[in-house]
Amino acid sequence: MAYCVAGGVQLPILTTADTGFSAERIGGEHYRTYNGALRDSSRGVKRTWNRTTMPINATAYDAILAVIGSPAGGNVVSCTGDMFRGGAVNCAVVVTNAPERKAWGETPKLKYSVQLQFIEA
């Protein structure tokens, strides 16, 4: 299985990078009851994965932008692959660190690594 597929396009993610995710609680909190038991009134948890691509050229970067909509994450896309433990997760994909498009110019040989953030929808 591919490591990361977003919107039907395989993304060139470095698999040696961080493999974890951070979790954000939605509503609620942890508290202790009278008898000392721990209670959780959270409504759910949303996960965020931060990953870095392999060095890619401008054409590959444009293909990623075509899938995610914009660098700010315009579309919610279905993400699958080993990165998501084989399941499917609907995510907004955000570019958090990329050179400006004009830095690539018209030279297809220039390659940059791009940092992506996958935010569970």
Does residue 93 sit in helix, strand or coil? strand
Write out pLDDT tens, residues 12-28: 888 765 667 777 777 77
pLDDT of residue 108: 60
pLDDT of residue 98: 74
Instruction: Indicate the average pLDDT of the chain.
Output: 80
E strand residue ranges, 27-103? 30-32, 38-40, 44-52, 76-80, 88-97
Which stretch of DSSP H or E encloses residue 70? Answer: none
Rounded to whole angstroms, how far apart are CA atoms 41 and 28? 5
Are residues 88 and 118 in contact, defined by beta-carbon separation less than 8 angstroms? no
Write out pLDDT tens, residues 34-71: 888 887 777 777 888 888 888 888 888 888 888 888 88
- Our count of domains for the chain comes to 1
Range of the domain at 68: 5-120
